[in-house]
Amino acid sequence: MRQMTIKKFGNKKIIIRKLTREDLKIADKFRDFTNSLVAENAKIAMNEKIDLKGEHKFLSDTLNSVKNKKRVYLIAECDEKIIGTASITQLSWRSNHVGELGGIAVKDGYRRLGLGKYMMAQIIELAKKELHPKPKMIRLFVYINNKPAIRLYRKLGFKKVAKLPKHIQYKGKLIDEFAMILEL
Ligand SMILES: CC(C)(COP(=O)(O)OP(=O)(O)OC[C@H]1O[C@@H](n2cnc3c(N)ncnc32)[C@H](O)[C@@H]1OP(=O)(O)O)[C@@H](O)C(=O)NCCC(=O)NCCS
């Protein structure tokens, strides 16, 4: 993709772009986005709020991985806020033909407008173009009861390949996770 795309989703004008070093100066906006997901108890891996130092380190590590062609990372912005992220990270050594999807999330209030699907398609294209070596497949893990995400992944061609029993602690219960794969 170009450095920046501006696209309308519903009646919202949304900027979709790559992460840059300038973003380190607005780490607080990324922290707020991350913490809004934790606060709503979203079905993501993380369940603890992050502080500014932690978010800054995460962004800095991500920029290094992107530079080394090990990760691709996209963000969506609207109303001066970060409202979405998507990333794919290459696995190591004998599995470096596999990219792992992490952190596809859209802020509550901006969902169901097509942004998640758009960002997923873009991040997969970016992974094919920029990761080295080029990935042959993308894998992901998703809570078995995360219907919106599973439907989104199926729409993009991901197939369920395994069920991992009791891998997630959620609301006082141990729930299963699906592993899904998209062959490129
Ligand atoms: C999953 C998520 C990223 C989807 O983002 P989104 O921008 O709302 O998705 P889109 O509007 O592009 O929807 C694409 C498709 O996903 C499915 N979908 C999205 N939200 C859905 C919902 N609430 N219920 C059922 N299907 C849903 C639909 O098939 C939809 O296509 P349609 O609108 O043509 O029916 C978003 O719900 C989210 O951020 N959730 C919290 C974080 C999370 O769970 N991330 C995934 C971790 S594995």
Residues in the chain: 184
Distance from residue 53's CA to the centre of ligand 1 (Å):
30
What would the mean pLDDT of 27-45 be, rounded to a whole number? 97
**Distance of alpha carbon 40 from its chain centroid, rounded?**
17
* Ligand 1 pocket: which of 14, 111, 143 to mutate (most atoms within 8 A of CB): 111
DSSP class of residue 68 equals T
| pLDDT given for residue 2 in this prediction | 55
104 in contact with ligand 1, CB cutoff 6 A: yes
| pLDDT given for residue 77 in this prediction | 98
For residue 78, give the nearest of 120, 106, 50 by alpha carbon: 106
134-137, long-range: CB < 8 A, 24+ apart: 135/88, 135/90, 135/97, 135/98, 135/99, 135/184, 136/97, 136/98, 136/183, 136/184, 137/97, 137/98, 137/99, 137/181, 137/182, 137/183, 137/184
C-alpha to C-alpha distance for 92 and 24, rounded to whole angstroms: 26
C-alpha to C-alpha distance for 99 and 137, rounded to whole angstroms: 6
Distance from residue 105's CA to the centre of ligand 1 (Å):
9
Report the CATH number of the 4-140 domain: 3.40.630.30
What would the mean pLDDT of 141-145 be, rounded to a whole number? 98
| pLDDT given for residue 170 in this prediction | 96
Q: Tens digit of pLDDT for each residue in 60-95?
A: 999 999 999 999 999 999 999 999 999 999 999 999
User: Vertex 173, ends 170 and 179: CA angle to 5°?
Assistant: 60
C-alpha to C-alpha distance for 46 and 90, rounded to whole angstroms: 20
pTM for this entry: 0.97
The domain limits of the chain are 4-140
Q: Tens digit of pLDDT for each residue in 107-140?
A: 999 999 999 999 999 999 999 999 999 999 999 9
* Ligand 1 pocket: which of 43, 106, 153 to mutate (most atoms within 8 A of CB): 106
| pLDDT given for residue 146 in this prediction | 98
Q: Tens digit of pLDDT for each residue in 2-24?
A: 578 999 999 999 999 999 999 99
pLDDT > 60? residue 1: no
149 in contact with ligand 1, CB cutoff 6 A: yes
Closest atom of ligand 1 to CA, residue 110: 7
DSSP class of residue 6 equals E
User: Vertex 105, ends 103 and 107: CA angle to 5°?
Assistant: 145
